[in-house]
């Protein structure tokens, strides 16, 4: 047993009779308690591109980063805040007994609103055989391109704002919950800060002090690292899946290009953020994109990106 020594010495103990009733969610290691609180736990199993254990840094950084995100969002989006986290530095590994608590959707979704995990949007409805996102398009009456424009706006407005401040969200499908009213996208709810990338220089320029757990890999001095995080998760993963599900191709990317420019507009007019926003806009629309090489990452460990054509570059 990996932690036999910690159990033998009493550093790690099993508390008899302690049980917390929870329900599963679509996220493999996130469980929902009776009051709606989400409990994210460590699961040291290889699923897709990585082992789903959790670092102590992720658990301890979450509450402070949640406060910063909500401050920087300034009402452009919403965050399911991580308000507590804990773990232990055991002899064998610090990643096995780590957990964090996250706010649920209760109190965020109002009457008449429907929250759908973004990862479900490209999925086929078992009753109609159509993509969930296509059914929402029909309900909205916007048409495919009109729907995509509104969807991209609620995603890119917050993402580009945070990026200009120095925070690159890992806003792929699994980490986003769009909210709809009569099929129309009205706002984006973000969750999970474990993969965020912070640019120390930009945050410092804005007067934001971030205290991270020792050894955290969250902060970087390379703007390219933050851009790679945003571009891969938001554009190459999230929006690419929506464009493909709608069957739009180039027309869809034209809509997204316009949405990026619209989201960047207010930032370019803000003297505090203009230079950073211009740099971000260039990275997103004029340079090759960084795409994760998942098999190579599995073999080597760590993030490995390869350049791919940018569909917004034209």
Is residue 12 in a domain?
no
- Does the pLDDT at position 92 exceed 70? no
Residue with the bigger pLDDT between 88 and 117: it is 117
Other CB atoms within 10 Å distance of the CB of residue 279: 15
Q: Model confidence at 296, in pLDDT bands (50, 70, 90)?
A: confident
With beta carbons less than 8 A apart as the criterion, state whether 183 and 137 touch. yes
Tens-digit pLDDT profile for residues 226-237: 999 999 999 999
Q: Model confidence at 14, in pLDDT bands (50, 70, 90)?
A: confident
CATH number of the domain that residue 245 is part of: 1.10.510.40
CA dist., res. 301 & res. 266, Å (int): 39
pLDDT at position 185 is 98
Query: Which residue carries 């926003």 as its tokens?
Result: 277
Is residue 13 in a domain?
no
Is residue 95 in a domain?
yes
Is residue 70 in a domain?
yes
Domain count across the chain: 1
Selection from 61-75, 235-249, 284-298 with the highest mean pLDDT: 235-249
Is residue 219 in a domain?
yes
Is residue 5 in a domain?
no
CA dist., res. 212 & res. 64, Å (int): 8
Full residue range of the structural domain in which residue 162 is found: 21-308
CA dist., res. 87 & res. 2, Å (int): 16
Is residue 266 in a domain?
yes
Q: Where are the beta strands (DSSP E) in the chain?
A: 22-24, 30-33, 38-41, 43-47, 50-52, 78-79, 82-86, 99-102, 113-115, 167-168, 176-181, 184-190, 197-199, 219-220, 289-292, 305-308
Tens-digit pLDDT profile for residues 171-185: 999 999 999 999 999
Single pTM value for the model: 0.92
Write down the mean pLDDT value for the chain. 91
Is residue 6 in a domain?
no
Q: Model confidence at 56, in pLDDT bands (50, 70, 90)?
A: confident
């Amino acid at each position: 047993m990996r932690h036999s020594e910690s159990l033998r010495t009493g550093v790690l103990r099993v508390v008899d009779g302690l049980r917390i009733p929870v329900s599963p969610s679509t996220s493999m290691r996130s469980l929902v308690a009776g009051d709606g609180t989400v409990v994210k736990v460590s699961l040291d199993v290889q699923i897709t591109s990585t082992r789903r254990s959790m670092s102590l840094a992720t658990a301890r950084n979450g509450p402070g980063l949640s406060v910063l995100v909500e401050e920087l969002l300034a009402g452009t989006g919403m965050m399911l805040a991580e308000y507590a986290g804990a773990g232990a530095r055991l002899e064998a590994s610090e990643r096995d007994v780590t957990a964090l608590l996250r706010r649920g959707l209760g109190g965020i979704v109002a009457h008449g609103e429907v929250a759908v995990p973004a990862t479900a949007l490209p999925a086929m409805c078992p009753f109609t055989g159509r993509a969930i996102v296509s059914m929402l398009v029909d309900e909205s009456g916007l048409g495919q391109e009109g729907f995509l424009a509104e969807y991209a706006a609620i995603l890119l407005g917050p993402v580009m704002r945070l990026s200009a401040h120095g925070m690159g969200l890992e806003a792929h499908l699994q980490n986003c919950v769009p909210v709809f009213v009569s099929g129309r996208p009205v706002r984006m709810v973000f969750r999970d800060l474990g993969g965020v990338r912070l640019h120390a220089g930009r945050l410092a320029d804005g007067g934001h002090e971030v205290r991270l757990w020792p050894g955290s890999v969250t902060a970087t001095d390379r703007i390219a690292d933050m851009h790679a995080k945003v571009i891969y998760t938001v554009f190459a993963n999230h929006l690419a899946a929506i464009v493909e599900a709608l069957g739009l191709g180039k027309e869809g990317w034209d809509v997204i290009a316009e949405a990026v420019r619209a989201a960047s507009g207010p930032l370019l007019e803000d003297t505090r953020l203009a230079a950073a926003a211009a740099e971000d806009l260039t990275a997103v629309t004029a340079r090759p994109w960084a795409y994760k090489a998942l098999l190579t990452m599995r073999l080597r460990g760590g993030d490995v990106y390869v350049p791919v054509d940018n569909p917004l570059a034209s």
